[in-house]
Every structure is written in C-alpha cells, then in structure tokens.
A and B are shown apart, each in its own frame.
Chain A
C-alpha cells in the first residue's frame, strides 16, 4: 500500500462552499418583478433556427445514385429505397423515402451520402391531424433543395414544404407544395431490387421507358 503513491488532489474547504441560512435573501428574487420578462410571444414574434439546424431532408433526384448508403446508416431505419416513375419513365436508380415517424433527425444519412444528393433544410415545423391521409405527409421522397429554398424565401416560417400528399389508387403520388406547385410521380416498388411487373399495364410502360433510355444513352 505504501509503495503506491497517491494522486494529488486539491480540496476546496467546506467553509468556502457552505452558505449561511438567511431569511432576507429569498426576497431578493422579487427584483425580477419589474424587469422585462424573457419570453418570445410565438405567434407574433419569430425565432430563427440556427443556420444549419437539422430539419427536413432535401434530395436532388438527378444526383442520387441509389446506393442505399443512407438506408444502411440510418439508426432508426427510417429510409426505404423507392422506385419512382416520373412522366412515364422509371428512374434508373431507387431514391430514398424518409419516414418522419421514425427519423431522429441525426442527419447521418446526409453525411454519408457520397454524391451529396441528400441534404437538409432548416425547416422543422410539421403538424398534422390524426387522419390517415394527413399522416401521409410524414413519409415522403425529399424534393429538390432549390425548391425548398424557394419556398422558404417566400414564406420564411420554416414549415414543411408540402401541404398535402395525395395518394391515388394506382400508386401515383401528388405532392401539393405550399406555393401551389405540384410534383407528380408514381411509386413502382420498394427495396433495392427493381420492382417486378405486378399488372399487365406496367410492363408496356416500362419497356417503353427502357427503350427511351436505350435511345437516349
């Protein structure tokens, strides 16, 4: 025991930290009665989120290569790869669909994205009622960052840029943006593999799309 040298520690004397009880001191708190209260009147005043506040995602559909790195790193497993058909043409690669019911807003997916396609905006405000069609809002394929920025500049209240996600029976989704624009596309399937042809109507479309792709490339 003696062979082991003790580490040196500095102890503050008890007399320095022990306070004397007082009858008067609690009443000194009264001075704040006449000062301006520290509060923000939210509907009338605005607060600005920090410049890189981690909010909703943005996705550049042209840059995303469908590598699923974002889906693999997501700690909440909120990302599902989605096969999308825009204007009758299937995208060559799947894109992530983010479920804000699960997302923890850690933005690991943004950091890991090798092409920088996935980004985030400072928008954080999203509230919906309990109806199923309103809750569709919480599960979206993020839209282009420029569009989000444009909407932010117009409204500047950091709300979710989509007001309504309309889901049609044939798998068409319409995103009604806040400034009245619409984004329309069709979701063909989920997962890493390209979707199989469930209905006879789709193969024709797809072969068309493939032909177009073949021609263009």
Chain B
C-alpha cells in the first residue's frame, strides 16, 4: 500500500497547481495565458508568485507591467550550492492591490540580465545595488559602477555567500579588534 501511495502523492505535486477561484487566482490565470513559459501560483491573499526562465524575464516583466505598475524591489538570493543567483522582482499592483514575486535564476559566474529600466525607471537604482553587492551585470543600465560601498570594497561583492566578512574585517582592522582582554572575534553559533 505504502509503495503504491507514495507515487500518487508525487503525481499530485507534479500536476499544475490549481489556481483558486479568487481575485488573485484569476489574475495569475490571466497572466499565464499570455505567458505560457512562466509558472504561477498564489501564495496567499494578495500575494502571487511567478517563476520565469532568465532569458524571457524581460518579455515577462513587460507583460506584467500592464497590471503591476510599481517595481518595489529587486532582491537577490545567492544559492551557492546550486551555483545560481535568484532574482526576485517584487511588483505591486495598485489597481489589484496585489504583491507579485517574479523569480528568475541566473548562473553565478558571469551573471547577466537585461535591464528593466525602460519599463520602470526606478530599476536603475535597484540594479546598481544588485550589481554592487552581488556582481550581477544588467545590460543596458548605464550607471553600473561605484554606488554605495567604499572604493576599497567595490568589486568585492560583499553579499555573496563566498565573501567572508569576518576575514575581511580582520584584514582591515587587524586580527583582534576588541578593546578589552577577551576577543569577541569568533562566533559561537
């Protein structure tokens, strides 16, 4: 019985997840109709999620910008084991009051994406930040360059998982940067 049951569960998971009969569900269904290459799901009320392959992200975001007027943030996650950066474009729809996560994955080495500056001009700033902290290149953004970090930190991409913050701080401030007897430079957790 167990043997038979397990594949059933997997089959269910593999099936396209059912979109609920809500405002969000209809919204996602509508989007997916126009963009069949994407995967969409409804997280909860007023929160939807799309997964898009990296080579069609621009196309998808252009489509999405009809509904989602605001780009709120581009956040990046470094999945170092898989060797990929995950970019999450967070969109807000004023008309539908819905928050959308558009996820896409690019390889860690030589990460390149087209800029979305022409869709949302605010993307310029978010892309500069993602470029500075993770080293992702947004083709078409003219201002990728020194932004927040100090010159000596620039090009080091400090939010990547393989950047050792403590070791870097030690090279700058010396082995032991505590005023008192004990050293608090190692971490216990």
Residues of A within 8 A of B (CB): 1, 3-7, 68, 71-72, 77-78, 80, 82, 97, 99, 101-102, 135-136, 139, 187, 190, 192
Would you list which residues of chain B between 82 and 98 have a CB under 8 Å from chain A? 95-97
Question: Do B27 and A4 touch (CB < 8 A)?
Answer: yes
Report yes or no: B96 in contact with A97, Cβ–Cβ below 8 A: no
Closest 4 CB pairs of A and B: A190-B182, A80-B182, A139-B180, A4-B26
A contact residues around B97 at 8 Å (CB): 7
Kindly name the residue among B178, B183, B188 whose own CB sees the greatest number of chain A CB atoms within 10 A. B188
B184 CB contacts on chain A under 8 angstroms: 77-78, 80, 99, 102
- Tell me the bound Cα distance from A101 to B179 in angstroms: 9
8 A–B contacts from the bound complex (CB under 8 Å):
A1-B30, A4-B30, A6-B95, A77-B187, A97-B182, A135-B179, A139-B180, A187-B181
Identify the closest chain B residue to A68 (Cβ). B188
Contact-residue bracket for chain B: 10 to 19
Are A7 and B182 closer than 8 Å at their CB atoms?
A: no
Q: A82-B182, A190-B182 are in contact. Are A4 and B96 (CB under 8 A)?
A: yes
- Which residues of chain B are within 8 angstroms of A101 by Cβ–Cβ distance? 179
**Chain B residue contacts of A1, Cβ below 8 A:** 30
Per-position binary interface string of chain B over residues 1-37, scored 1 when its CB falls under 8 Å from any chain A CB and 0 otherwise: 0000000000000000000000100110010000000
A-B contact count (CB 8 A): 39
Known contacts A7-B97, A192-B188, then 7 further A-B pairs from the complex at CB < 8 Å, ordered by chain A residue: A1-B30, A3-B30, A4-B26, A82-B182, A139-B179, A187-B181, A190-B181
Query: In the bound complex, what is the Cα–Cα distance between A77 and B185 (angstroms)?
Result: 9
With contact pairs A4-B96, A68-B188, A72-B188 given, residues A99 and B180 touching in the complex (Cβ less than 8 Å):
yes
CB neighbours (8 Å) of A71 from chain B are 188
Q: Cβ of A7 and Cβ of B96 under 8 Å apart?
A: yes
Chain B residue with Cβ nearest A101: B179
Q: Is B172 an interface residue (CB 8 A)?
A: no
Q: Which residue of B lies closest to A79 (CB)?
A: B184
Nearest Cβ on chain B to A18's Cβ, whole angstroms: 22
Identify the interface centre among A68, A72, A80: most chain B CB within 10 Å of its CB.
A80
Interchain CA distance A97-B181 in the complex, whole Å: 11
| Given A68-B188, A71-B188, A77-B187: A7 touches B23 (CB 8 Å cut-off) | yes
A102 to B180, CA, bound (A): 12
Among residues of B, the one whose C-beta sits closest to the C-beta of A97 is: B182
In the bound complex, how far is the Cα of B9 from the Cα of A7, in angstroms?
Answer: 36
Cα(A77)–Cα(B181), bound, Å: 15
In the bound complex, residues from chain B placing their C-beta under 8 Å from that of A192 are 188
Q: Report Cα–Cα, A194/B163, bound state, in Å.
A: 33
Q: Known contacts A3-B30, A4-B23, A4-B26; decide if A72 and B189 are in contact (CB<8 Å).
A: yes
